[in-house]
Structure 1
Amino acid sequence: MERLPYIDEHAITVPADRAATWRAVLRTMCSNPDNPETVPFGFALEAVEQNERLALTGRHPFSIYRLIFLLDDDPAGGTRVAAQSWAAFPGFTGSIYRALVIGSGGHRVVVGNILKHIARQAFSTRAPQR
C-alpha cells in the first residue's frame, strides 16, 4: 500500500503486561482472536508482529486508510497502546468525507472507544495478583 498522509495518534496506558494487552487488542479487533486475519469489515491485515504491532489497511471510493496499533512497555508500569491513523481522501467527495469523519471529531471518538475497550479487555483477563 502506498505511503499515506499521517492523520493522528491516540494512546492509552493499560494496567497489564504486554502479552495480556496484545490478546486484548486481538479480541477487540478480530472476530477470531486466534487468527489476526479476521479483522473487521472494511479492513485487511497488513502486518502483525506479536505483542508489538497490528497494522490494518483499507480503501473505499472516498478514502484509503491504515490503522496501526503499537504496543510498548510503559516505564511507569503496564503497556502503552497507541493507535496511529494514516489516510488519503482523494477528490472532492474525499474532502467531504474527510470533513465528516475527521473534522467532526467522530474519528477521535471511535478510536478512543477502541482503546478503552482494549484496556477493559486486558484488565478483565489479567491473572489475579497474589
Structure 2
Amino acid sequence: MEITGLPHVDVHTQIVAADAHAVWQSIGEVLDRSFSEGRFAGYARLVGCPDRTPAGPRPMAKGSVYPGFHVRSADPGRELVLVGRHYFSTYALVFRLDETGPGLTRLRAETRARFPGPVGTLYRLLVIGTRGHAISVRRLLAAVRRRAEHVR
C-alpha cells in the first residue's frame, strides 16, 4: 500500500517537553499499552482487519503489529508509519517528530484513509464525521506527551 495515494483526513499536533528519543520511546509504550486492551483486538476482528493481535519486534520496528495496524516503516526519533485495512477502509497513521528546541519535540499524527463504496462512506461518517477519530488521536497524543514528560 502506497500511503501517498491515500487521501488526507486530518493531522493533530502536540508540543512535548522532551527530546525526540523520549517521545519515540513513549509512542511505543503508549501503543503497546493502548492496543493490548482486548477491545481493540475485538474491534479489529469485527471489522475484518488482518492484523488482530500484537506481534513482532519490540520496541516497535518495521514488522511490529498492533490490532488494526502494522508498522510499515520506523525511523526512530523521526517518523513512524502505521498502515492497516479492513472491510470499510484502507488507512495510514503517520507519526512525525521534529525537535523544535532544546528538550522540545513537535509530535504530529497524520491520518490518511480511503473509504470505498457506500458502506465505506457510511463508516467514514460514523468514525470521522462524529469526531470520534479526532478525539481518539488527540487522546493518544496526550498520553504520549504525558509519558514522555514524566520519564524525562
TM-score, with length taken from structure 1: 0.90
Alpha-carbon displacement from aligned partner over 1:95-116 (angstroms, at most 9, x marks no partner) = 0000000000001000000000
Choose the corresponding residue for 1:46, options 72, 81, 95: 72
> Structure 1: where are the runs of 5+ without partners?
none
Change (3 A) 1:33 1:117: farther
- Paired with 2:113 and 2:102, the residues of 1 have a C-alpha distance of 32
2:59 maps to which residue? 34
Aligned-residue RMSD, C-alpha: 1.6
Instruction: Answer whether contact 2:60 2:74 (CA < 8 A) is retained.
Output: no
Q: Deviations over 1:64-85 (max 9, x none)?
A: 0000000001248510000000
Q: Does 1:64 align with 2:66?
A: no
Identity of aligned residues (%): 38
Q: Which runs of 5+ in 2 are unaligned?
A: 34-56
Distance 1:35 1:8, change over 3 A: closer
CA contact (8 A) 2:18 2:149 kept: yes
TM-score, normalised with respect to structure 2: 0.78
What's the counterpart of residue 107 of structure 1?
A: 133
Residue 81 of structure 1 pairs with residue 81 of structure 2? no
Higher helix share: 2
